[in-house]
């Protein structure tokens, strides 16, 4: 993702958790130009999607617009991001009355950065999953997916103690195919309670759907249709976008056809890591 300040625009910066993910070189999948605005005019009509929070999404003749409002900044929008159809190029306007006093601004502050990634991925690029991602000492990517409270951060902390293991993220992982057609998982800066995130990737070698165990660690095999559905329900998807949902469903079907997927009811101690290593 690339952001540039237009002539006379704001000085750009990034918060500390994102700095490890900053880099240069190569063509960015998403590129935005950032500008000041004295007054941001909101699009007319009903939004395509209303988050119920600070943002709404609107359809335009040339693409989409994310509009941001907050009771703390008044009725008028404080930010607007206009993106093309592919969510690869766009412009971001910041209300000077809100951001003008800052020495530096991060124009893609959460949730805009994640929203752009989710919508871009849905154009045939991949999917963001609610998951902990671990690269073990042999370089294998292990995906532990779960709803909030299922134990993703706990699993991340357990693997963090394992020599040679690296935690890509304890909460959000991006799945894609690489140039050779291999499914890979990528760390993201949007960490969870364990605050673990790394800008690295690993080949996806195992998928585990987390649940808390009653007495001992237990694996349960799943039919491909169920495994794909479990992943789908634990992912961040543009539910207003029919084509994007169709792509995501097909993507997960291909993932579970090529990568072993199991339900994992685990005990939150070292034994869970040992069981994955032994079972894997």
- At residue 108, the pLDDT reads 96
Mention every residue, 6+ apart, whose C-beta is less than 8 A from residue 191: 17, 169, 170, 171, 172, 197
Contact between 176 and 248 under an 8 Å Cβ cutoff? The reply is no
Quote the pLDDT of residue 24.
65
C-alpha distances out from residue 45 to 32, 48, 59, 63, Å: 25, 9, 10, 15
> Which domains are assigned to the chain?
2-113 (no CATH), 127-279 (3.90.228.20)
Residues 6+ apart with CB under 8 A from 25: none
262 burial type by CB count under 10 A (0-12 exposed, 13-18 middle, 19+ buried) = middle
Given a cut of 70, the residues of the chain with pLDDT beneath it are 24-25
Given this model, what pLDDT does residue 180 score?
96
Residues ≥6 apart with Cβ < 8 Å to 133? 141, 142, 143, 144, 167, 168, 169, 173, 185, 186, 187, 202
How does strand 166-169 pair with strand 127-135? antiparallel
0.75 cut: is pTM over it? yes
**CA pair distance 165, 156, nearest whole angstrom:** 10
Residue 126's pLDDT is: 98
pLDDT the model gives residue 17: 82
Give the tens place of pLDDT for each residue, 9-67.
999 999 988 889 987 667 889 999 999 999 998 887 889 999 999 999 999 999 999 99
Whether 253 and 226 have beta carbons less than 8 Å apart is answered as no
> Cα separation of 85 and 97, whole Å?
30
Cα 155 to Cα 147: distance, rounded to the nearest angstrom: 13
Q: Which residues, including other chains, have CB under 8 Å from residue 249's CB and lie 6 or more apart?
A: 228, 232
């Amino acid at each position: 993702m690339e952001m540039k300040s237009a002539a006379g625009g704001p000085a750009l910066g990034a918060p500390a958790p994102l700095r490890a993910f900053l880099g240069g070189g190569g063509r960015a999948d998403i590129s935005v130009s950032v500008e000041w605005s004295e007054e941001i005019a909101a699009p007319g009509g009903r939004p395509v999607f209303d988050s119920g929070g600070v943002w709404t999404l609107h359809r335009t003749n040339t693409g989409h617009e994310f509009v941001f409002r907050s009771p703390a900044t008044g009725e008028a929008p404080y930010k607007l991001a206009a993106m093309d159809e592919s969510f690869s190029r766009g412009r971001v306007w910041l209300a000077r009355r809100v951001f003008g006093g800052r020495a530096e601004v991060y124009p893609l502050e959460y949730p805009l950065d994640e929203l752009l990634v989710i919508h871009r991925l849905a154009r045939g690029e991949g999917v963001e999953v609610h998951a902990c991602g671990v690269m073990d000492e042999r370089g294998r990517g292990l995906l532990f997916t779960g709803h909030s409270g299922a134990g993703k951060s706990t699993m991340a902390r357990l693997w963090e103690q394992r020599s040679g293991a690296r935690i890509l993220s304890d909460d959000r992982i991006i799945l894609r195919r690489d140039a050779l057609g291999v499914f890979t998982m990528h760390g993201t800066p949007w960490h969870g309670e364990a605050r673990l995130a790394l800008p690295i990737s690993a080949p996806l070698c195992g998928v585990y759907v987390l649940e808390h165990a009653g007495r001992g660690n237990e694996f349960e095999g799943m039919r491909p249709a169920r495994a794909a559905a479990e992943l789908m329900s634990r992912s961040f998807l543009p539910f207003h976008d029919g084509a994007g949902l169709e792509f995501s469903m097909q993507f997960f079907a291909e993932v579970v056809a090529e990568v072993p997927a199991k339900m994992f009811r685990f005990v939150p101690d070292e034994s869970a890591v040992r069981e994955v290593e032994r079972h894997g």
